[in-house]
Chains A and B, each alone.
Chain A
Amino acid sequence: MIKRILQKLPASIFSRERVLGVSKSRQKYDLPLAASTTNSFLRLLIALMSVLGLLALSASFALSAMTHRWSEGLAGKISVEIPATDSGGDVIDPSLVKSMTDDVAKILSAHPDVKEVSITEEKKIKELLSPWLGENMVMDSLPIPGLISVTMDEDGKTDLKELEAKLRDVAPRARIDTHESWLTDVVRFTGALQFAATLLLVVIGATTLVAVAGGVRSKLSENKEELELLHLMGASDSYIARQIQKHTMILSLQGGIMGVVAGGIVLIGISMVAGHMSINLIPEFKLSALQKIILVGLPIPIAMLAMITARYTVLRVLTKMP
């Protein structure tokens, strides 16, 4: 096409001139996006945000696992205590406590809503008590209450007050404990922590968003002339936005991967330390396969968020050009 024009013209008369600086490889982007300090700033910032995001997200996972296990483990479970003292505070004969416990267990077993009944052995109770009282204190002389663990049917519509009254016929001070009040507190507490973790995630996301928008804006004003030129050559808004959003996405992906690797190391460290603590209260911190995938894949939503923000920012800046 150009040939048709050129062949109608006299041959070139320009003399050959010496060539100085060269750039052989085609530039990836029409705007000089590659050479900019904004790049390393943005990458580092995204990396840090990813570390925080990873930690907040795994904390949220751990908390929800904790709540789930606790309420799962305790659902439908009640325990019945037959105190070793009478209403006056005097110690009851241990054999009487034992027979009362057996009677109560019999009534419970006969109840249609009860699935399983097990009397906690004296030895086990002593074991449970020893950390608090010390080996030596837990002597045979110590009054040991009767403890019965009961598993109820799942639907849990049983009237426990009525059941308790029935039990008191054979053991006047028998007491049903549903763990409910304790569980409610725990669930409320972990719920609050989980809310905090989620809030943290939102703040991290918003910070990333603002930083990316700012980074893109500063990049655009750095390259204002080039941007204007592309616009004047008839580059559509989305043509220009595509380049910047692609560049931002790649940067964010790099930053995100850096962050997830660093955050992953921190997490592994934490779980190793926690593993050594052997606290029975805290259910083991184990992530499901899905949760692991979400954590490892965290750079992807981050890069997407950054990309969408970049696109939106470019389109906004471009509307200032006619």
Chain B
Amino acid sequence: MIRYEHVGLRYGIGPEVLEDVSFTLEPGSFHFLSGPSGAGKSSLLSLMYLGRMPTRGLIKMFGQNIGEMNRDQLASIRQRVGVVFQDFRLLGHMSTFDNVALPLRIQGRPEKEIKNNVTELLDWVGLGDHKFALPSTMSGGQQQRVAIARAVITRPRLLLADEPTGNLDDEIGFRLMALFDQLNRMGTTVVIATHNQQIMNKFAHNRLILDKGRMHIEEGTKKGGLRQRLEGVY
């Protein structure tokens, strides 16, 4: 579904931040992306949500070579990718509701469907009372939940999250991981960049490990469904 072959990325005339990265993500897979700070995790994710183009190498997404696509085709690929940014990137002039509704509106979904789905999801992430709140009035953890809700509202085929549990306490972090896991069970391919060793240990998925721009893959240590473990947690 996603295939990287000898991909390199540099910013301007700087050194290569990613060097010769190759990997394949099968549909419906779940990967953690880890590595020390500055290793290039956010950079790799930005390639995956087509925020940048690689300086070399081949990238195939959903079976298509992105180097051969026109702007509208790239836009439609982006619509199939949900992203939780490390710095959330909520729109400050919009309410929580409108922030979460935005990807659906971009996709031109009917307003009724938008209202139902967004309300439902906001209730679930515990922000039902904050529907009309502006992001600037919310805590970091609350904003992060809005960002996560916005990323999953379209049920993307690929979900990317950059440190999605960074601002959350463990309990809430695990709950959101459960949301990602549920989406994954329903077919979404998930890649989560995280430093959080505890979460990686608890949810034993395969790991993409970046170090100094190079990547290697570690198989998940534990086998078995997440569900059993979740039932232990709650």
Contact = CB atoms under 8 A, between A and B. Distances in A.
Interface of A: 1-6, 8-10, 12-17, 19-24, 26-27, 30, 32, 34-35, 225-226, 228-237, 239, 322
B129 interface: yes
Query: For the complex, would chain A's binding face be called helix, strand, loop or mixed by DSSP majority?
Result: loop
17 contacts: A2-B155, A5-B183, A6-B124, A8-B182, A9-B124, A10-B175, A14-B126, A14-B127, A21-B134, A23-B98, A30-B94, A30-B106, A229-B91, A230-B106, A231-B75, A322-B50, A322-B74
Contacts of A22: 95, 132-134
A30 B51 contact: no
Given A5-B186, A14-B172, A32-B93, A232 B77 contact: no
B129 A19 contact: yes
Contacts of A16: 126, 129
A6 B126 contact: no
A9 B53 contact: no
What are the 7 closest A-B residue pairs judged by CB atoms, nearest first? A14-B126, A234-B79, A234-B78, A20-B137, A32-B93, A21-B137, A22-B132
Q: Give the size range of B's interface with the partner.
A: 35 or more
B107 A234 contact: yes
A233 B84 CA distance: 11
Interface of B: 49-53, 71-72, 74-81, 83, 89, 91-95, 98, 102-103, 105-107, 117, 120-121, 123-127, 129-130, 132-134, 136-139, 142, 145, 153, 155, 171-172, 175, 178-179, 182-183, 185-186, 230, 234
A58 B89 CA distance: 51
Given A21-B136, A235-B75, 20 more contacts: A2-B117, A2-B155, A8-B182, A12-B123, A13-B171, A14-B126, A15-B126, A17-B129, A17-B130, A19-B132, A21-B134, A23-B93, A30-B94, A32-B93, A230-B102, A233-B102, A233-B103, A234-B78, A234-B107, A322-B51
A6 B51 contact: no
B89 A225 contact: yes
A237 B50 CA distance: 15
Contacts of A9: 124, 175, 178-179, 182
